[in-house]
Amino acid sequence: MKVGLLINPIAGMGGSVGLKGTDSTEILEEAIRRGAAPMAARRTVEALRSAGDLDAYEFYTAGGGMGEDVLKELAKGMIITYTPRGPTTKEDTQRAARSLMDSGIDVLMFTGGDGTARDVMDAIGDAVPVIGVPSGVKMHSGVFANTPRDAGLLLRRLRVEGLPSRMAEVMDIDEAEFREGRLSARLYGHMRTPEDPGLIQPFKLVVGGGTDDEHKEAIARYIAENVRPGTLYILGPGTTMGAIGKELGIDKTLLGVDAFKDGVQVAKDADERELLDLLEKEGGARIIVTPIGAQGFIFGRGNQQISPRIIRRVGLRNVIVVATPMKMRDTKRLRVDTGDPRLDEELRGYGKVVIGYGRQLVTPIE
């Protein structure tokens, strides 16, 4: 099987530092200034290691950090079809994707987020199946595997079983609006992806309004009435979290991470470093998160500021998950993709979700 491998080396770097993406040179420079570290290569390695016998694949890729650097450590050989001349841009992604297509690949595995997915789609359309290795901040499109490991398993299943493919949605998220706390999304187009509902994340439904607003308000009242004195609360993004912030009397950012203690908002739209600094000064702490969209992810989608270091520092027993009954009806189970496979295993199993005032639901976490 001829596999094209394409990595966006800067994908996801804005997440831990609270920038919600790196779709421009200016934002990338700011992410680096804040101490952001590359993560795409590491997540690609995780995907490839779960893809089975790598000798069974014929790899085509782009030079340097766009694929070559990862493959030379894992595979016996590769064919380089494109080499970027400097720091990579969206044009490099598009040129690399076209060159891989011209090489006659059977499937394209790419690492990045929604921006990378759009660039790949612009270059190749739906000519071959694609497998997205999740590594961005924004991953609303339906072409991404649940985790890097699942991306590798999907590639293996495609090779061994010859999976059929289906059309999946590619979403266009306005990053400037997203950074201001407003979710502006539209359907950008479609690409083909191997058919396996267990390994590919569902398309994230972006819905407005609030038929379940009363449930959110009930959850918010319950959380507010059970806040522990002297405890730092780290609040993830989402509309349910917005209702909690309103009940607590703080200016909660819709798409950011905030912190609250003893009636005072101590951090707004915080990045990983700010949260770690707060934890160094505090005794007890708790994390409150809600599953993002229809995907069911409680960590690893849109809240990368709450990093594995922060989760371990707070403690797994101090993680509170909240969601309305309607959300859980559509989600059915929760997922985690923290970037730390060992932590993911510790989080998996069964957990409780606060679904109303004093009401909890036990649900599987994968």
pLDDT tens digits along 98-119: 999 999 999 999 999 888 999 9
Per-residue CA distances from 232 to 84, 182, 266, 278 (Å): 46, 26, 9, 8
pLDDT tens digits along 5-62: 999 988 765 444 444 445 555 555 554 555 545 688 999 999 999 999 999 999 999 9
Closest CA to 307 of 340, 285, 283: 340
pLDDT tens digits along 323-359: 988 888 777 779 999 989 999 999 998 888 998 888 8
- The pLDDT value recorded for residue 222 is 93
- Contacts of 242 by beta carbon, 8 Å cutoff, 6+ apart: 252, 254
Which structure tokens are listed for 292? 């993002």
Going by pLDDT thresholds of 50, 70 and 90, the confidence category of residue 196 is: confident
- The pLDDT value recorded for residue 200 is 81
pLDDT tens digits along 65-98: 999 999 999 998 999 999 999 888 889 999 999 9
pLDDT for 207 beyond 60: no
- Average pLDDT over every residue of 187-215: 71
- The pLDDT value recorded for residue 292 is 79
- The pLDDT value recorded for residue 255 is 85
- Average pLDDT over every residue of 226-243: 93
What does the mean pLDDT of the chain come to? 85
- The pLDDT value recorded for residue 175 is 56
SS (H, E, C) 232-262: EEEECCCHHHHHHHHHHCCCCCCCCCEEEEC
- Average pLDDT over every residue of 262-282: 92
CA distance 355 to 332: 13
Of 220 and 200, the one with more pLDDT: 220
Which residue type does 37 have? A
- The pLDDT value recorded for residue 133 is 94
For the ranges 27-31, 83-87, 189-193, 261-265, which has the lowest average pLDDT? Answer: 27-31
Closest CA to 307 of 270, 264, 333: 270
Of 96 and 294, the one with more pLDDT: 96
Of 212 and 27, the one with more pLDDT: 212
pLDDT for 234 beyond 70: yes
Per-residue b or e along 196-209, where b marks 16 or more CB atoms closer than 10 Å to that residue's CB = beebbbbbbeeeee
pLDDT above 90: percentage of residues in the chain = 56
- The pLDDT value recorded for residue 198 is 80
Closest CA to 94 of 68, 118, 113, 59: 118
Largest CA distance in the chain: 62
Going by pLDDT thresholds of 50, 70 and 90, the confidence category of residue 64 is: very high
CA distance 236 to 270: 10
Highest mean pLDDT of the ranges 5-9, 167-171, 279-283 = 5-9
pLDDT for 213 beyond 80: yes
**How would you list the strands of the sheet with 107-112, edge to edge?**
79-82, 58-62, 2-7, 107-112, 130-134
- The pLDDT value recorded for residue 78 is 96
pLDDT for 181 beyond 70: no
Per-residue CA distances from 308 to 3, 147, 160, 341 (Å): 31, 15, 34, 10
Which structure tokens are listed for 54? 């790598």
Going by pLDDT thresholds of 50, 70 and 90, the confidence category of residue 140 is: confident
Of 196 and 244, the one with more pLDDT: 244
Going by pLDDT thresholds of 50, 70 and 90, the confidence category of residue 319 is: very high
- Average pLDDT over every residue of 319-326: 90
pLDDT for 257 beyond 70: yes
Which structure tokens are listed for 95? 């040129």
CA distance 105 to 56: 14
Of 283 and 205, the one with more pLDDT: 283
pLDDT tens digits along 122-131: 999 999 999 9
